[in-house]
Amino acid sequence: MCGITGFTGEVIDRDKVIKSMTDVITHRGPDSSGVFSDDYVSMGFRRLSIIDISESGDQPIYNEDKTLVLTFNGEIYNYQELRKELIEKGHVFTTKTDSEVLLHGFEEWKEELLNRLRGMFGFAIYNRKDHSLFMARDFFGIKPLHYTMVGDHFVYGSEIKSILQFPGFEKKLNMDTLNQYLSFQYAVPPQTFFEGVFCLMPAHYLWYRDGKITTTRYWEPRFEPDNSLTEEEAVDRIEKVFADSVAVHKISDVEVGCFLSSGVDSSYVSTFFPGQNTFTVGFDFGEKYNEISWAKELSEQIGVKHHAKVIPSEEFWGNIKKVQYHMDQPLADPSCIALYFVSKLASEHVKVVLSGEGADELFGGYTIYNEPRVFRLYRALLPQCVRTGLRRLVQKVPRHFRGQSFITRGEYPTNESFIGNAKMFSYEDKQRLMKEPQYATRPQERTRPYYDRVKDLDDVTRMQYLDINMWMVGDILLKADRMSMANSLELRVPFLDKEVFKVAASLPTRLRVNRHNTKYAMRKAANRRLPEAWARKKKLGFPVPTRVWLKDPKYYEIVKAAFQSETAEKFFHTEELVQYLDDHFNGLRDYSRRIWTVFVFLVWYNIYFEDGAHAEGDWPMFKPASK
């Protein structure tokens, strides 16, 4: 795993600039670095050596006549087959790396190379003859790639912090992204929190030629359910394709470990790791927030070496700033901090881990995917106006009661009610909260294009399609990449494989989500290797006790200081923020997710726009607002 960065055009102290852009992502590749420069482009690279760990795997890498230059972040799992095919076509290889396959493959097939690949990638290829730059990102967005224009310069990087090093780049907060973040809890791609900086979307390639940027989608994760498929046939196919995916994802010249929670996804992956290392973290707040005992028991049953860590509250809070620095952008998913700790634990033993990301989106694992079935009768019996009246009525009740959430969530049809696995502030909430309410928009404006692309499919499948294109990219895979790379650890996700998706996409809805369980057929396949208790276990989703901490006076005061700070006053009506905090502290409502969303943004803003030194140090870090 690696990090790449670069820019086009002449700049003063070119070598110093590309070095600073490369050095700031040293955590992505501490083993070596490399630079290519000519009069038209500078390309930087950091390497974490996994395959062909000798110096011959260092980058940049060139083709035979050195007219093409490659820097690459990722892994190509079918590189050996492609290498053989390219050698038969006359290409001459100088290394045994998967990286060089991209270079010769691009020579041979140009853009058509991408659909031949199996893996995760973000790479750049520079043509020294015509001075064009070609970039591409993998099918699901496992590996990141960002870009911008600074004057006449095209600037790119695996992480935004590289781009921030480029001279002349002016940091400006993207207020529309803040608006979207308050709804979704993440920056909705392709926009970022930095105005003018974009992420290349999954399954897209980019050309920079003659001063112009063009992007093209080369693949799309389309569901094509086969309703004739029987349960046994589906389970057989899942078992076969997933075993193959894990096998290719374990290809490495260094030891590979595995993250392990109590859930079925990572547990299923771990059954392919006899004698190797698994890693788990938890919190000391009871079983709801601690999966270590489940993971330990499973490890003993399947014969793996288990490593675990209980995260003390002080240590969690003490690393919030460091985590948000590495994230580049605020992410209000508190599990990203837990992921930082489990990555740190794993990095003490291995260089590569496998994890279970993507199973929920592909196979229908989220509990919320049950909603179309649960609300079908309610929405059929009561007209929209009655459902809206009931929702308004229950929202006036000061305390939460059983059934309140059902009435609130059941008001609108799926394409209006479901915006993804996180739904923080409503349009009306944002108008009350934001100092500049003209930026507030309805989140459905961002989700509608995705729903429209799959309007012919059932609601469950449409929800999955939305999550694959938004939630998984903006939250799940972003934190997986950043938190593992912050610890110089390569994270691989065998569920997010093209061949696995083909099988998942063919499953009829009844074999994904039904009254018995979520991920129904996948759980049946896992049960062939796992004890039934693990195969059937309800999803926890890396739970973090934020709601508990925010009722602790110590952490209440930390957050209150943030909510009453100069930073908060720039963007929000601070009395609204404090009201959320007080209501939660006093047990009137569970506002923990909303509170955490704003708090994380304020922490991040202080790091990147107020004083970068705030990435380290103790609380408090906020200046109180002037009276």
Range with the poorest average pLDDT among 87-91, 535-539, 589-593? 535-539
Which tens digit of pLDDT belongs to each residue from 315-343?
999 999 999 999 999 999 999 999 999 99
| Strands of 340-443, DSSP E | 352-354
Nearest to 64 by CA among 38, 36, 103: 103
**The pLDDT of residue 607 is above 80:** yes
**The pLDDT of residue 56 is above 60:** no
**363-391: average pLDDT:** 86
Q: Give dist(CA 356, CA 268) in Å, integer.
A: 8
Q: Give dist(CA 250, CA 399) in Å, integer.
A: 51
- DSSP conformation class of 331: -
CA distances from 88 to 80, 82, 83, 91, 103 (A): 12, 10, 9, 7, 15
The confidence band for 348, taking pLDDT boundaries of 50, 70 and 90, is very high
pTM: 0.94
**588-601: average pLDDT:** 96
- The token duo for 384 is 């929209």
**156-164: average pLDDT:** 98
Q: Look up 336 and say whether it is catalytic.
A: no
Antiparallel, parallel or unpaired: β 32-37 and 61-62:
unpaired
**191-219: average pLDDT:** 98
- State the average pLDDT for the chain: 92
Q: Given this model, what pLDDT does residue 614 score?
A: 45
The confidence band for 58, taking pLDDT boundaries of 50, 70 and 90, is confident
CB atoms within 10 A of CB 425: 24
Name the CA dihedral angle for 425, 320, 486, 497, rounded to a multiple of 10 degrees. Answer: -30
Q: Given this model, what pLDDT does residue 618 score?
A: 65
**The pLDDT of residue 235 is above 90:** yes
Q: Given this model, what pLDDT does residue 53 score?
A: 53
The confidence band for 406, taking pLDDT boundaries of 50, 70 and 90, is confident
**The pLDDT of residue 90 is above 60:** yes
Of 2, 199, 258, 336, which is the active-site residue?
2
Q: Given this model, what pLDDT does residue 619 score?
A: 64
Region of 275 on the Ramachandran plot (φ > 0 left; ψ -120 to 50 alpha; else beta): left
**The pLDDT of residue 611 is above 80:** no
Helices (H), 171-278: 175-184, 231-249, 264-270
Q: Give dist(CA 197, CA 172) in Å, integer.
A: 10
The rounded percent of the chain whose pLDDT value lies above 70 is 95
**34-44: average pLDDT:** 96
Helix and strand totals (H; E) in the chain: 29, 17
The confidence band for 384, taking pLDDT boundaries of 50, 70 and 90, is confident
Which tens digit of pLDDT belongs to each residue from 537-572?
776 666 899 999 999 999 999 999 999 999 999 999
**The pLDDT of residue 293 is above 90:** no
Which tens digit of pLDDT belongs to each residue from 434-482?
999 999 999 999 999 999 999 999 999 999 999 999 999 999 999 999 9
Which tens digit of pLDDT belongs to each residue from 479-506?
999 999 999 999 999 999 999 999 999 9
The confidence band for 404, taking pLDDT boundaries of 50, 70 and 90, is confident
The confidence band for 47, taking pLDDT boundaries of 50, 70 and 90, is confident
The confidence band for 51, taking pLDDT boundaries of 50, 70 and 90, is low
More confident call, 287 vs 136: 136
Could you write out the DSSP letters of every residue in 260-311? --SSHHHHHHHTT-TTSEEEEEE-SS-GGG--HHHHHHHHHHHT-EEEEEE-
Which tens digit of pLDDT belongs to each residue from 510-520?
999 999 999 99
**94-98: average pLDDT:** 90
Domains of the chain, with CATH numbers? Answer: 2-217 (3.60.20.10), 231-364+469-536 (3.40.50.620), 367-420 (no CATH), 546-615 (no CATH)
Q: Given this model, what pLDDT does residue 615 score?
A: 47
Q: Give dist(CA 89, CA 83) in Å, integer.
A: 10
The confidence band for 625, taking pLDDT boundaries of 50, 70 and 90, is confident
N-terminal to C-terminal alpha carbon distance within the chain: 50
